[in-house]
Homo-oligomer: A and B are copies of this chain.
Amino acid sequence: MRPTLADAARGRILFGGDYNPEQWPEETWHEDVRLMKAAHVNSVTLGVFSWSTLEPEPGAREFGWLDRLMDLLHESGVGVVLATPTASPPPWMGRLHPDTLPRDADGRTEVWGGRQHFSHSSATYRRYAAAITEDLAARYAGHPALTMWHINNEYCTFDYGDEAAAAFRRWLRTRYGTLDALNSAWGTAFWSQGYDTWDGILPPRHAHYLKNPAQVLDFRRFTSDMLLECFTAERGIVRRYTPHTPVTSNFMPLWIGQDAWRWAGEEDVVSVDVYPDPRDPLGGQRGALVHDLTRSQARGPWMLMEQAAGPVNWRGVNHPKPRGLGRLWSLQAVARGADAVCYFQWRQSRQGAEKFHSGMVSHAGEQGRTYQEIRRIGAELASVGAEVTGTRIDADVAILHDWHSWWAGAHEGRLSREVDLPEVLTAWHRALWEAHLTCDFAHPEHDLSGYRLVVVPQLYLLTDAAVGNLLSYVGDGGTLVCGFLTGVADEDDRIRPGGMDARLRGLFGIRTLHEWWPLEAGETVRCEGFRGTLWSEEIEAEPGAAETVPYRGGELDGLPAVLRNGRAWYVSTLPEPDALRELLASAAAGAGVRPVLAGLPAGVEAVRRGGLLFLLNHGKEPVTVHVPGSHQEMLGGEKVTGSVTLDRYGVAVLRP
């Protein structure tokens, strides 16, 4: 039985953030602890970027400062998520071991002076990483402050260098066994790319023209796997010492580099970093998407490892959070299943590349608005924690998503560079979010029988098993709504005959998919009753098989834009937001799925978690929400009967 987030949370919502005290004099540590306590901080993540402090020269160990900190935090009632420092090797490593440095597709070496300058394939790097992990684990295994392990940070590196090339070849031998199988899967008969020896295979380095898509796809698979090997190697070490302490590594949400379904299966706690732009009017929905995706990967409570108390510093223009928005988004995460709400970072750095990235204690210090809001959030999370933690969220709807499909569909030689999967996913999730239909995410080969409605925004690549899964799902009574560019390719990114899997065509009532008609940026296509964006298709329906909504005008006039064959819908364009929301609301109603609450004002989100109803106002104006029955509001403590008024960015947590 593997440990879980509950083993670290112990009935509280974990609240805190990355803490980098090695950047500060020791007197500041005591100030920190005072401010943490005042803000109900109960968890900090230590050591994420401490390698050069812990091991200032090869083989040295400087644990004294960390000992003192662990003790201090424990005495102060703050638990520690202890990180392995392996995301940023010390400068001596690159200097003494250039083989540890990654190379990009253009042959440029990534040197130290930033972070993440390690090759996932470097034996030397892995040896050093294992050694420091081992010593950390051995030293702090029994420390009472330790609540969780955090391995590395935001795994996100690529390497096209020679050691990675050798590893890629080994990975390919394992995958394919024979060169014939590889040549077949990669379609190397095209453009004279047949390999006669394994040694001839390279990562997809700089080429004259379009690269082999299957090679690029496998290189992405390989990269995700190599990074996962780095993770599991360190996880294995700490697990030997502390089998009952959960282990995590933080995802970047919807980041293309890791197959997060596979990774999540290797983690005890699934954690994620969430940074919507405070100026994005749909920031709240983008957050909800990440929450839903992470909760689904975790199959239960999850950890918000990093968010920003104010601005980040990596956008072109970085905006702070208006008053109340940080609280709203924190409680939203809880509403959507988080049992840990944390920040990067506790105290804003005065130096280094992220000194303009906010902290829970900003440059303005204790009197700054930021810290004052953090105190309120901490107090409120503490007040609801016992009732919330460990509870689950029921969803009747699932959105399917798969990294391999994303990788294959993103090839440079695709039909439209305007089609960007994260934006397509976001559009479909937005439709559900605005319709107050709570959803999970699922992998296309997952058991879908628990859902009444399954939504496929786009699964360009579908394995045979996944196709079978979808067919069984509908066959067993499920309702499926499927977007364009789905089922086009098989597992090797081989286009399926007909341009779409024949079984899927049968399911939707498509006789012939004549041509894809991608749209230009900003262009729309008229359909009966709405406008489509991004894409359209020249489809000939199987006579009588499906109800259809036709295109109107233009080259596709009269041809089906939407096909509905019983419980299976196919949508060959991306309807504009209102239309997509109505389409999904209609499909959901037909499948017997109801919104969380009816009659909600625009911008108000409603989620049920455990027995609680969360109401979240994403608007800047106060609104009144009608809530049938009588409830206890848990943050302010009032009784709510019939209706509740939410301030701008206001939240109500209602217990029946």
**Residues on A facing B (Cβ under 8 Å):** 20, 22-23, 49-53, 56-57, 85, 88-92, 94-95, 102, 106-117, 157, 186-197, 199-202, 204-215, 279, 310-311, 313-314, 316-320, 322-323, 348-357, 362-365, 367-370, 411, 413-418, 492-495, 497-499, 511-521, 538, 555
Contacts and interface: CB of A to CB of B under 8 A. Distances in A.
A516 B320 contact: yes
A382 to B, nearest CB: 25
Contacts of A516: 311, 320
Contacts of A112: 193, 200, 202, 207
Contacts of A107: 108-109
Contacts of A316: 416-418
A91 B192 CA distance: 8
Contact of A195 (B91, B111, B114, B311): B91
Contact of A89 (B53, B111, B192, B363): B192
Nearest to A106: B108
Nearest to A23: B189
Secondary structure at the A interface, as helix, strand, loop or mixed, is loop
16 contacts: A85-B192, A91-B195, A92-B197, A92-B200, A110-B206, A114-B211, A190-B351, A311-B516, A317-B415, A320-B538, A350-B497, A351-B493, A351-B494, A363-B513, A364-B498, A368-B514
A205 B355 contact: no
Contacts of A188: 52
A518 B317 contact: yes
Given A95-B199, A364-B498, A22 B108 contact: no
A215 to B, nearest CB: 6
Contacts of A108: 106-107, 206
Given A110-B208, A317-B415, 12 more contacts: A20-B190, A23-B187, A52-B194, A113-B207, A114-B208, A186-B351, A190-B353, A213-B355, A317-B518, A350-B497, A356-B413, A364-B498
B355 A495 contact: yes
- Which residue, of A49, A113, A511, has the highest number of chain B Cβ atoms within 10 A? A113
- Which residue, of A51, A89, A355, A494, has the highest number of chain B Cβ atoms within 10 A? A355
Give the oligomeric copy count: 3
Nearest to A94: B200
A23 B369 contact: no
A193 B50 contact: no
Contacts of A209: 114-116, 353
A369 B418 CA distance: 25
A57 to B, nearest CB: 4
A528 to B, nearest CB: 21
Nearest to A519: B317
A451 B205 CA distance: 51
B157 A208 contact: yes
Given A89-B192, A189-B20, A214 B351 contact: yes
B353 A191 contact: yes
Given A115-B208, A197-B92, A352 B514 contact: no
A416 B497 CA distance: 49
Nearest to A107: B108
A543 to B, nearest CB: 14
B354 A194 contact: no
Contacts of A511: 367
Given A368-B512, A497-B363, A517-B320, A187 B350 contact: yes
Contact of A413 (B85, B193, B354, B497): B354
Contacts of A91: 193-196, 200-201
Contacts of A313: 413-415
A187 B348 CA distance: 13
A364 B499 contact: yes
Contacts of A193: 52, 88, 90-91, 112-113, 352
B370 A515 contact: yes
Contacts of A90: 192-194, 196
A560 B72 CA distance: 41
Contacts of A348: 495
A492 B364 contact: no
Contact of A318 (B52, B206, B415): B415
Nearest to A91: B200
B515 A320 contact: yes
A156 to B, nearest CB: 8
Contacts of A111: 202, 205-207
Contacts of A187: 23, 349-352, 355
Nearest to A85: B192
A514 B370 contact: yes
A387 to B, nearest CB: 33
A309 to B, nearest CB: 10
A541 to B, nearest CB: 13
A319 B517 contact: yes
Contacts of A191: 49, 88, 114-115, 352-353
Given A197-B92, A214-B351, A317-B519, A189 B53 contact: yes
- Which residue, of A116, A209, A368, has the highest number of chain B Cβ atoms within 10 A? A209
Contacts of A115: 191-192, 208-209
Contact of A200 (B95, B214, B349): B95
Contacts of A498: 363-365
A522 to B, nearest CB: 11
- Which residue, of A115, A417, A497, has the highest number of chain B Cβ atoms within 10 A? A115
